[in-house]
Chains A and B, each alone.
Chain A
Amino acid sequence: QVQLQESGPGLVKPSETLSLTCTVSGGSITSYYWSWIRQPAGKGLEWIGRIYTTGSTNYNPSLKSRVTMSVDTSKNQFSLNLRSVTAADTAVYYCARGFCGGDCRLDYWGQGTLVTVSS
């Protein structure tokens, strides 16, 4: 059974960089897309972007100037860096696996981690 687990600081100061890692267990990280999605309290889901195991990325244009994603296949991990954060970046951050076979879907999700931006 594939499992994903987010890890990283729960509190980040304004203007600093939010850094999260997602560790994949129970399956290989290769040949899938790996996505980050966030959800502010009481609101809907926002797709941040995705990375393929080759390192190819797609980012949401609304965040593209501040986002970097990376993947470490040797550790079965992928990561998110979001620079210059503000209070508007406070949210639960989820990592998810993207399975693409003709269509694409997010079939496995991490439990989510709350990141608060505050001084």
Chain B
Amino acid sequence: DIQMTQSPSSLSASVGDRVTIPCRASQSISSYLNWYQQKPGKAPKLLIYAASSLQSGVPSRFSGSGSGTEFTLTISSLQPEDFATYYCQQSYSTPRTFGQGTKVEIK
């Protein structure tokens, strides 16, 4: 199985901050990397697919980059509704695997 690592598990930021969330794969996954946002009590929501493609309806302040084993989700200007947990997920092979999540908290 491909291991996905997200570190840190949480970070604190203020409204308006630029936030970057890293994700590392245990082997090269090309650009087969998705990002999801999950708020408490809700299902995950797809933000970014294929490492850098913005899902329809997702605000443009979200962007993704990377390939191979190193990936980043960036929020250019953090908004109050962005406080949530973010998961990366590889779609290179089965079983699909998720990172442990990074919780973005209010500073």
Contact = CB atoms under 8 A, between A and B. Distances in A.
B31 A44 contact: no
Contact of A58 (B55, B94, B101): B94
Nearest to B31: A103
Nearest to B93: A58
Interface residues of A, number: 24
Interface of A: 35, 44-47, 49-50, 58-62, 94, 96, 102-107, 109-112
Interface residues of B, number: 24
The A interface, classified by DSSP as helix, strand, loop or mixed, is strand
A61 B95 contact: yes
A98 to B, nearest CB: 8
Interface of B: 1, 31-32, 34, 36, 42-46, 49-50, 55, 87, 89, 91, 94-101
Contact of B46 (A94, A106, A112): A106
9 contacts: A44-B99, A44-B100, A44-B101, A45-B101, A59-B95, A61-B95, A103-B31, A105-B46, A107-B46
Given A61-B1, A105-B34, A47 B43 contact: no
